[in-house]
């Protein structure tokens, strides 16, 4: 179900209630029911990126081979991103890093290292503010453009991949990303590595969901993720999985 089909169904529902009121005198209080359902679907569609409610998001690939992709949000992080890079290098595994623009200042060398070592970089907004989803269209464009310019100044490349903060999509966010020619990237497996769960619990959660074409969401912001990453890479090797970049898995371009 998409936003368009949901809106059309809502209009039909309230029209039916209106006609029943006009001809049979039923209470207009029945309008509460379609209104509540409509609001619930809007909230669900915004919060669940895999629903493709407002726009299509790449969350997995229809892979015939045992290939998966690793992605890291919220960097670059001065302490943990280099450790992630070191671990990936040991396993010759590529990854995609969705960076927050405000985190680039002072960490330009890390961004250069990500690029130099063959990993791809995507846009994850400039502020990643809790209130970012309440911005208007121009506000979203500013978020994307600020990060895009910050990345371009460091590596000289224009990003085409965008992961919405918190995985939340809204009409203005979608309009902004579409107008700037971004591909929206979601995930298949959410590790929840920013929660209080132990590395062992997170590792088990990730491993039990791995399947061909999966995109795994990690955060390069904690020591716990480093532990989980090492176990995940070992598991992938032992089970015949090949690690590829998000763009190779999805057969799309990471840069203009």
Q: Residues with catalytic annotation?
A: 73, 219
CA distances from 224 to 14, 63, 98, 161, 248 (A): 50, 29, 19, 26, 27
% helix, strand, coil for the chain, step of 5 = 50, 15, 35
Within 8 A by CB and 6+ apart from 195, the residues are 202
Which residues face 184 on adjacent strands? Answer: 162
Burial 153-188 (b: 16+ CB within 10 A, else e): ebbeeebbbbbbbebebbebbbbbbeebebbbbbbb
* Residue 50 · residue 209 · CB < 8 Å: no
DSSP 185: B
């Amino acid at each position: 179900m998409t936003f368009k089909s949901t809106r059309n169904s809502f209009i039909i529902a309230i029209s039916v209630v209106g006609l029943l009121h006009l001809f049979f005198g039923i209470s207009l209080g029945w309008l509460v029911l379609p209104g509540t359902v409509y609001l619930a679907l809007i909230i669900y569609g915004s919060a669940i990126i895999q629903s493709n409610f407002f726009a299509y998001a790449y969350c997995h690939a229809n892979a015939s081979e045992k290939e998966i992709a690793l992605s890291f949000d919220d960097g670059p992080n001065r302490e943990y991103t280099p450790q992630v890079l070191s671990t990936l290098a040991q396993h010759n595994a590529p990854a995609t890093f969705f960076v927050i623009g405000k985190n680039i200042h002072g960490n330009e060398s890390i961004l250069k290292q990500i690029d130099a070592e063959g990993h791809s970089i995507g846009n994850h907004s400039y502020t990643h503010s809790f209130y970012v989803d309440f911005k208007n269209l121009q506000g979203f464009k500013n978020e994307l453009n600020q990060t895009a310019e910050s990345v371009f100044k460091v590596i000289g490349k224009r990003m085409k991949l965008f992961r919405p903060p918190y995985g939340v999509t809204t009409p203005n966010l979608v309009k902004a990303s579409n107008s700037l020619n971004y591909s929206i990237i979601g995930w298949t497996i959410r590790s929840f590595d920013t929660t209080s769960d132990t590395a062992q619990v997170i590792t088990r959660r990730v491993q039990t969901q791995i399947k061909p074409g999966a995109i795994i969401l990690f955060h390069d912001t904690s020591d716990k993720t480093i532990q989980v990453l090492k176990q995940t890479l070992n598991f992938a090797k032992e089970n015949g999985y090949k690690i590829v970049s998000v763009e190779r898995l999805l057969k799309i371009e990471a840069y203009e």
